[in-house]
Amino acid sequence: MLDISYFEKLFNGTFKVLNGLPRYIALEQVQPEPDFKEKLGHLIGVGKSNKLQYISVLIQKTNNDYSNILITNGFEHRSSIIEYTKDLGNIEELPCEFQWKSLENELTEKEFKDTWRQCMLYSDNKPSTFTMAQHLEAVKSELGNNWRNSCRVFLKGGKPIGVTIPHMEPGTTDEGRLFYFGLIPEMRGKGLSSSLHKQSLQFLREMGATYYIGSTQATNKKMQHVFIRSGCMLKSHMESFYKYF
């Protein structure tokens, strides 16, 4: 049976490999890969023979050679991504303004998926092609055993207002990320995003993260402002490509 370690050995640290097996594999560039063309061809062959649904690759924006190789091999450009980072060692300890529930306690999967679906409506990000069941399967695959604790819904007056999915990045001991962060449409524009994002960063620190990496599509100016208001610094510009089988 195909295992994530196979792909990790193939790229040997030049790309981070995120585990979406058996549906997909996601790669994120860490450093230059001198044999990118050959390894990508091998990856595509393995993907076809093992009936993966798709492969996603995130590369640095300045790497035009990789872009050309990906497009030549049937990948489609998905979106331009902006990454931000923040040291969590000195974040301000804030009172918990909002209640929250997780799938580990009180929250059902149906409630979580319903709230997450609402948060995705009218987003400035490119619409997802996944079903909510597929989104939740991706969380399970990539985050591992503690995924239920990561799936959280914010509440105001007992009613859901947003979703956050804080987690330790697989393969690291201190990198915190948010698999997803968003508010339902009627709660936007009320000054809540920054407070909820800062609370999400506190969740990450409680999980053991010493720094945070967050990302959003280049078209999502509102989320970029949230990063800045949370004290995050610009880290990198990336490009996302997908190949569907």
Q: Could you read off the pLDDT of 38-75 as tens digits, one per residue?
A: 999 999 999 999 999 999 999 999 888 999 999 999 99
Question: Do residues 170 and 19 lie in contact, with contact meaning Cβ atoms separated by under 8 Å?
Answer: yes
What CATH number labels 87-236?
3.40.630.30
Confidence of residue 14 (pLDDT cuts 50, 70, 90): very high
What pLDDT does residue 76 have?
97
CB atoms within 10 A of CB 29: 20
Checking if the pLDDT of 93 tops 80, the result is no
pLDDT mean over 105-134: 92
For the chain, what percent of residues have pLDDT higher than 70? 100
Cis, peptide link before residue 170, omega less than 30° from 0: no
Domain boundaries, the chain: 4-74, 87-236
Alpha carbon distance 83, 100 (integer Å): 26
CB atoms within 10 A of CB 150: 23
Checking if the pLDDT of 97 tops 80, the result is no
What pLDDT does residue 206 have?
94
Amino acid at 48: K
Give 143: exposed, middle or buried? Use CB within 10 Å, 0-12, 13-18, 19+: buried
Alpha carbon distance 42, 173 (integer Å): 30
Helix axes 36-49, 4-11, angle to 10 degrees: 170
Beta bridge partners of 128: none
Alpha carbon distance 141, 148 (integer Å): 12
pTM recorded for the entire structure: 0.92
Spell 43-62 as b/e; 16+ CB within 10 A means b: bbebbeeeebebbbbbbbee
Secondary structure (3-state) at 160: strand
Architecture of the CATH domain 4-74: 2-Layer Sandwich (3.30)
> pLDDT tens digit string along 174-232?
999 999 999 999 999 998 999 999 999 999 999 999 999 999 999 999 999 999 999 99
What pLDDT does residue 171 have?
85
Give ∠ CA 236-231-164 in degrees, rounded to 5: 85
Provide the 8-state DSSP code for 230.
T
What pLDDT does residue 197 have?
96
What Cα–Cα distance (Å) separates residue 245 from each residue in 11, 191, 242?
A: 21, 42, 10
Confidence of residue 126 (pLDDT cuts 50, 70, 90): confident
CB atoms within 10 A of CB 231: 15
Checking if the pLDDT of 155 tops 80, the result is yes
Alpha carbon distance 37, 18 (integer Å): 20
Alpha carbon distance 113, 195 (integer Å): 22
